[in-house]
Structure 1
Amino acid sequence: MCISFPARVTHVSDDGAIAEAESMVDGSIIDVNILFLQDVNVGDYIIVHSGIGVRVVSRDHAMQICSIFRDSLKEEYDL
């Protein structure tokens, strides 16, 4: 199963096609294709699905999604 997750953009390539982003779920650094998004800047929060940026979201929205992930993991794995 694939899950979309929030990430914070840390670098955008000169051609604007690829962004380096830090996953808000586990802190890993990933490369994200951002060709389908407009005006992505360092510091923006994006939703990533299978390595593709699908939506720019607010910081609050990204944090809310992360909270849901964490709560689900706590319930599922009794953390």
Structure 2
Amino acid sequence: MCLAIPAKVTELLDDAMAIVALEGIKKKISTALVEDLSVGDYVLVHVGYALHKVSPEEASRTLSLMAEAGVLQEELEEIAETSK
């Protein structure tokens, strides 16, 4: 389905890249569209790009709504598959 999904920045890399994590899944993404990121920030990720920062509360609320709607697991599986 490819929805944008909140994830936590766990590592900042060179060349506007970062590692994000969600539910034990780690993925390398581009941070070229977002300024002033720090490890521990939450970003909204879509097709390998951080679109913007979100608060931890907004990330939690969004993930809860996605789980309630039944789309979170599908998105996690897709992220895991593309992270291999």
Q: Same fold (TM over 0.5)?
A: yes
* Equivalent runs, 1:34-73 vs 2, <5 Å: 34-73=31-70
TM norm structure 2: 0.78
CA shift for structure 1 position 41:
0.5
Across the aligned residues of Structure 1 and Structure 2, the Cα RMSD in angstroms comes to 1.5
Name structure 1 gaps, 5 residues minimum.
Answer: 75-79
Q: Say which structure is richer in helix.
A: 2
Name structure 2 gaps, 5 residues minimum.
Answer: 72-84
Partner of 1:7: 7
User: How many correspondences in the alignment?
Assistant: 71
Stretches (4+) displaced over 2 A:
none
Identical-residue share of aligned pairs (%): 32
CA shift for structure 1 position 2:
1.7
TM norm structure 1: 0.83
